[in-house]
Structure 1
Amino acid sequence: MSEGDKPVVLTRHAQTVQRERGIDLTWIMRTVEAPEWQENDRQWKGARRLFRSIPEFGGRVLRVVVMEEAAERRILTAFFDRRAGKR
């Protein structure tokens, strides 16, 4: 199963912050499917930080933290990262 074939699942935390922060689910999916850049997450071992600027939100950079599992891509959190700059 390739990465693109894996279902994307939002944790309860990710669902809550997505709703509370007004992050459109399509922006999260766009970031997961086609990040502009990525890096290893320093907090969660094995997780990746995916970044993408969102034109519909003033070009701000969305960070989505993803844990790749054997059968799914699990979204741990998502937020607009004020400190993110293209690496």
Structure 2
Amino acid sequence: MKISKTIFFGFFVTLISVSSVIAANNPPKPMAKTAAAAGPVKPPSVPIDQGLILLVMAALLFGTYTLYQYNLQRKASV
């Protein structure tokens, strides 16, 4: 029974993948030379690590909370 489920799932995923590739839109036509000479629009200069310290602090707080909750559950089960 488990093998037939695996085969069905594999067939279904393959069918969905193939149908999405076939249904994809055609690529856009090339742009005129004047527009291509200007190049793509550059994004504004933003530092990559903006708010990184806040993210690390939130991760540490969440990790501490998770470990605390785990220890409470483990002590309660004993």
TM-score, length basis structure 1: 0.14
Higher helix share: 2
Higher strand share: 1
TM-score, length basis structure 2: 0.15
Higher RCO, 1 or 2 (CA under 8 Å, sep at least 6)? 1
